[in-house]
Chains A and B, each alone.
Chain A
Amino acid sequence: MLSVQDIHSYYGDSHVLHGVSLTVAKGELVAILGRNGMGKTTLIRALIGFTPPREGRVVFKDRDVTSLPPFRAVEMGMGLVPQGRRIFPSLSVLENLKVAGNAKARWNLDRVFSLFPRLAARKAHAGDNLSGGEQQMLAIGRALMTNPDLLLLDEPTEGLAPMVVREVAKTLEGLRREGLSILLVEQSVPFATRIADRVHVLSRGRIVHSCSAAELLANEEVKSRHLGLGS
């Protein structure tokens, strides 16, 4: 589905990603874990094309998408749930979903609303007039409206209450059962290890550890050194 090959990303002269490689197979849920400022968002930005990597390749569905404009990557089936949700504030909930929809609708408004009934009740509300949890659901719903085969999620649990976090986890597990591939970026180890098949640990722009979710939970050394957890 997705193959990232030795990418290097920069902001101006500052070198942020130092040769990151990873793959996501069809139907797989892969998590990238890392603390603040380690380059997680930069990686997502490189994949969708907001900040194309200066070196290396991004191959999606067997096509090189490294320097494709972001809207083309979305057309090809990358769905983005960005950090901070980035709901369009001037648009209503309904419009936020509609602008993302396209003609060949596998996902449509009805399906999104049955997945998130709370959004249906707030259809006419302005996009910025929602609780954090509702905004996160809208951001996920909006990405689904683009009919993705691969969903990119950047810290979807940031700032959410534990109950809402559980709801997001259930939603992602459900989507994954339907065959969607998911690349999740997270700081929360419990959340990521609960739903992911494999995890990569990102530190200062490099992947420093890769293993299964269960193995990470057992690995105190990696957790304390790179994720600031543990004894």
Chain B
Amino acid sequence: MNLAHGSYFLLGGYVGLTTAARTKSFALALLSGSLAVALIGLGMERFFLRRLTRQSLPQVLLTMGFALVFQDLALLVWGGDPYNIAVPAFLAQSVQAGPVFVNFYRLFIIGVAFAVGVVLWLFLERTRAGASIRATVDDAEMAQGVGINVPLLSAGVFALGAFLAALGGVVGAGFIGVYPGLDFEVLPYAFVVVIIGGLGSFHGVVVGSLVVGLLDNFGKALFPELSYFTLFAPMALILALKPTGLFGKR
């Protein structure tokens, strides 16, 4: 349980923003934002969270503390104004297709999400490292019992999670921008996705994020006065019917 996940998104956006401003390169912004935050994640895991394996409550408190520290640090460094990352010109255009305007950057976001999903799936299902991760999720103790270096693997997975959250942050900074409070705005979405999909399930995350994305957008468009309700009510319903989420085993 990591409440600093939203902070990774935010910090990724800010680091990407600074890189983009200095280098005028969107690609470098993506790279630097994700890598910098992956390193932060690695440090957090190595020096703090590793001591708290399987202790949910201390994990929640510690990562909440980190989230607050990151929030203040970001405010100190980047100030309180909202920014948008300048995206490459070819992504900034729109075309009209019949009655709808298609924004290239939206297509780019969908493409990135799809590519990340496919690469992650191939990694988890088709490589030995991926199988080791699944074995560790099944039974971490026995994974060590067959010689898997579980501490190293956990650190790697944690850093990968931070990397991807930050990648999302940079991509998002070209669209919704980056501003104070963004961290705690995106965090609930991540949690609802995981809760709906089920802990420890890749299919769950895919289905969960589609459900959350559609519910949230249609909900806000159709019943704007209900806002979060359209998101959390279905989550409560799923939890009541299937406490492990749609695809979760535990």
Contact = CB atoms under 8 A, between A and B. Distances in A.
Contacts, number: 64
A71 B132 CA distance: 13
B142 A146 contact: no
Give the interface SS of chain B, mostly helix, strand, loop or mixed: helix
Contacts of B145: 48, 50, 70-71, 74, 80, 82, 86
Contacts of A69: 144, 151
Interface residues of A, number: 25
Interface stretch (A15-23, A96-104, A171-179): A96-104
A91 interface: yes
A90 B149 contact: no
B141 A146 contact: no
A142 interface: yes
A90 B134 CA distance: 7
A143 B146 contact: yes
Contacts of B134: 88, 90-91, 95
Contacts of B149: 71
A37 interface: no
Contact of B141 (A50, A90, A91): A50
Given A86-B139, A88-B138, A91-B134, A100 B144 contact: no
A89 interface: yes
B138 A99 contact: no
B139 A70 contact: no
Given A74-B144, A100-B146, 4 more contacts: A82-B142, A91-B134, A143-B146, A145-B146
29 contacts: A50-B141, A69-B151, A70-B141, A70-B144, A71-B144, A71-B145, A71-B149, A74-B146, A75-B147, A80-B145, A82-B142, A82-B145, A86-B145, A88-B139, A88-B142, A88-B143, A89-B138, A90-B134, A90-B135, A90-B138, A95-B131, A95-B134, A99-B128, A99-B131, A99-B132, A99-B146, A100-B147, A142-B146, A145-B146
Interface of A: 48-50, 69-71, 74-75, 80, 82, 86, 88-91, 95-96, 98-100, 102, 142-143, 145-146
- The 4 lowest CB-CB distance pairs between A and B, nearest first, are A74-B147, A100-B146, A70-B144, A95-B131
